[in-house]
Structure 1
C-alpha cells in the first residue's frame, strides 16, 4: 500500500479535513499519514496500523455510542474492544449501546471508518482510553478513510474536552 507522511505545523492544511483544520487552528503539533484505503478491509483501524507500520496499540479508533440517550465518542486502541459498561460509567451514565451508524455519521459529519474525534459537526462528549497516556503520540482518523492524524494524547484530550478513563477491553 502506498504511504505518505506529511508534517503539519500551525496553519498548514494541505490534507485539509475538519479534523486537521481544528488541530491547525489550535496550534498543536501534528503529522498526517495517508495510505491507500482498501474498501474490502475487514477493520479500518487495523488496516491503518498495518499500512502505516505502527503498533495497533498506538492507533486508536473512534466509536460513537449512545450513553443514556446522549451520543458519546469513545477513542480506544484498534487492538482492543470498547467496554460499554466502562464507557457508561466514565461518561456518568448507567447504560451504553453502540450508536446507529447513520446517526453517528449525521451528527459528526464524517462517514463510518473515517469518523475523527476532532472537528466534528457537533461536539460530543468524548472519552479517551487511559492507555493513550502510555504513548508520546497516537494516531486517530483525520476525517476520511486512508488518512490518520498523529498527535500527543494530551493535545487530543484538550482539543476534544475528553475525559480519560480505562474503557478498552483487550
Structure 2
C-alpha cells in the first residue's frame, strides 16, 4: 500500500485502484497508463513539480493530453516565473520516484494546482504512488484533500 492510498483511505474518499504492467522502456508514464488502461488521455492526469521564482516548489496536475504552461502556473501561484523542478528535488520532496509521483501522500505539503479541465470530468486518474498503479477519484475530492486550486494550466 502506498502513502497515496493510505491518505485516501484515511480521508474516507471514494476511489478505485487501477493497476497495469509498466513497461520499463516507457518514459511517458501518463500516456502509457491511458493506453494500457484504455482511458481517455483527457481523464488521466500527470503530477509535475515546478520550482517557482521565490524558491518554493509547487505541484501541477495536468492531463496527459496536454503540456504544462509554466507561465500559467506561475500566475496561479502568484509569482513571475516557474521552471520544471530538478528530478532529484522532485523525488526528495514527494517521496516518490519519477513516473510514480502521486499528488497524494507526499512527504511535504506543497501548493497544488489542478488544471481546470478536470472540473468537466466525473472522475480523473492520477498516479497512486508507483509506476503501473493509478487511482481514479472525483476531481472535487482530489482538490479538497489537497487544498488545491483550479487554474488553466494546460496547453495542447
**Which bin holds the TM-score, normalised by the shorter protein?**
over 0.9
Counterpart-to-counterpart distance in 2, 1:143 and 1:112: 10
- TM-score normalised by L of structure 2: 0.98
Determine whether 1:47 maps to 2:37: no
Residue of structure 2 aligned with 1:64, choices 33, 49, 53: 49
Residue 131 of structure 1 aligns to a residue whose secondary structure is: helix
Post-superposition, which runs of at least 4 consecutive aligned residues in structure 1 deviate over 3 A? Answer: none
- TM-score normalised by L of structure 1: 0.90
Shift of residue 46, structure 1, vs aligned partner: 0.3
Counterpart-to-counterpart distance in 2, 1:155 and 1:117: 12
Counterpart-to-counterpart distance in 1, 2:80 and 2:9: 36
Counterpart-to-counterpart distance in 1, 2:139 and 2:32: 21
Higher RCO, Cα 8 Å, sep 6+: 2
Q: Match of 2:74? A: 88
Paired residues in the alignment total 155
Residue 105 of structure 1 aligns to a residue whose secondary structure is: helix
5+ residue gaps, structure 2: none
Q: In 1, are the aligned partners of 2:27 and 2:99 still within 8 Å (CA)?
A: no
Counterpart-to-counterpart distance in 2, 1:34 and 1:92: 36
